[in-house]
Amino acid sequence: MRDYDFVVIGSGIAGLTFAIKAAKHGRVAILTKRKGADSNTAWAQGGVACVTSDEDSFDLHICDTIEAGAGLCDPGAVETVVKEGPARIRELVELGLQFDQRDISGHREFDLGREGGHSKRRVLHVHDLTGHEIETTLLRAARSSPNIELLENHMAVDLITAAKLGFATEDHCLGVYVLDEVSGTVETLRSDRLVVATGGCGKVYLYTTNPAVATGDGVAMAWRAGAVIANMEFIQFHPTCLFHPLATSFLISEAVRGEGGILRNRKGEDFMSRAHPKGALAPRDIVARAIDAEMKRTGAQCVYLDITHRSREFLQERFPNIYETCLRNGIDMAEEPIPVVPAAHYQCGGIKTDINGATSLPGLYAIGEVACTGLHGANRLASNSLLEGLVVAHRACEAIVRHRPPAHPAGSLSLPEWVAGDTQDVDELVVIYHNWDEIRRLMWDYVGIVRTDKRLQRASARLRNLQREIQEFYWNFRITVDLLELRNLATTAALIVDSALSRKESRGLHYTMDYPEMDECLRRDTLLSVAS
More confident residue, 294 or 170: 294
Backbone angles phi, psi at 159, to 5 degrees: -80, 145
Other C-beta atoms closer than 10 Å to the C-beta of 86 total 14
Strand partners, 9: 31, 196
pLDDT at 427 over 80: no
Identify whether the C-beta of residue 230 lies closer than 8 Å to the C-beta of residue 100: no
Alpha-carbon distances of 122 from 38, 63, 125, 364, rounded to whole Å: 27, 14, 10, 33
pLDDT tens track for 117-164: 899 999 999 988 899 999 999 999 999 999 999 999 999 999 999 888
Alpha-carbon distances of 297 from 290, 292, 300, rounded to whole Å: 10, 9, 8
pLDDT tens track for 450-466: 999 999 999 999 999 99
pLDDT band at 411 (very low <50, low <70, confident <90, very high): low
pLDDT at 200 over 80: yes
pLDDT band at 104 (very low <50, low <70, confident <90, very high): confident
pLDDT band at 97 (very low <50, low <70, confident <90, very high): very high
DSSP labels, 249-317:
T-B--HHHHHTT-EEE-TT---THHHH-TTGGGS-HHHHHHHHHHHHHHHT-S-EEEE-TTS-HHHHHH
pLDDT tens track for 67-89: 999 999 999 999 999 999 999 99
More confident residue, 152 or 475: 152
pLDDT at 420 over 80: no
Q: Among this protein's residues, is 284 annotated catalytic?
A: yes
Whole-number percent of the chain with pLDDT over 90: 78
pLDDT value of position 532: 67
pLDDT at 105 over 80: no
pLDDT at 367 over 90: yes
More confident residue, 42 or 186: 186
pLDDT value of position 413: 67
More confident residue, 410 or 522: 522
Whole-number percent of the chain with pLDDT over 70: 96
Q: Which residues contact 43 (CB under 8 A, 6 or more apart)?
A: 131, 132, 209, 210, 211, 251
pLDDT value of position 406: 45
The arrangement of strands across the sheet holding 229-230 comes to 371-372, 350-352, 229-230, 527-528
Spell out the domains of the chain, with CATH numbers in brackets: 240-342 (3.90.700.10), 429-528 (1.20.58.100)
Angle of helix 429-446 relative to helix 481-502, nearest 10 degrees, comes to 20
Question: One of 88, 284, 455, 507 is an active-site residue; which one?
Answer: 284
Alpha-carbon distances of 519 from 186, 371, 376, 390, rounded to whole Å: 48, 25, 19, 33
pLDDT band at 407 (very low <50, low <70, confident <90, very high): very low
pLDDT at 408 over 70: no
pLDDT at 279 over 50: yes
pLDDT tens track for 478-490: 889 999 999 999 9
pLDDT tens track for 318-342: 999 999 999 999 999 999 999 999 9
Alpha-carbon distances of 509 from 24, 253, 291, 506, rounded to whole Å: 40, 19, 14, 8
Burial call 400-437: b when 16+ CB within 10 Å, e when fewer: bbeeebeebebeebebeebeeeeeeebeeeebbeebbe
The arrangement of strands across the sheet holding 194-196 comes to 148-152, 28-32, 6-9, 194-196, 364-366
Identify whether the C-beta of residue 231 lies closer than 8 Å to the C-beta of residue 499: yes
pLDDT at 409 over 60: no
pLDDT value of position 421: 60
Q: Which residues contact 142 (CB under 8 A, 6 or more apart)?
A: 11, 16, 19, 20, 23, 30, 36, 148, 150
pLDDT tens track for 293-309: 999 899 999 999 999 99
pTM reported for the whole predicted model: 0.92
pLDDT at 426 over 70: no
pLDDT at 410 over 60: no
Mean pLDDT, the chain, rounded, equals 92
More confident residue, 505 or 250: 505
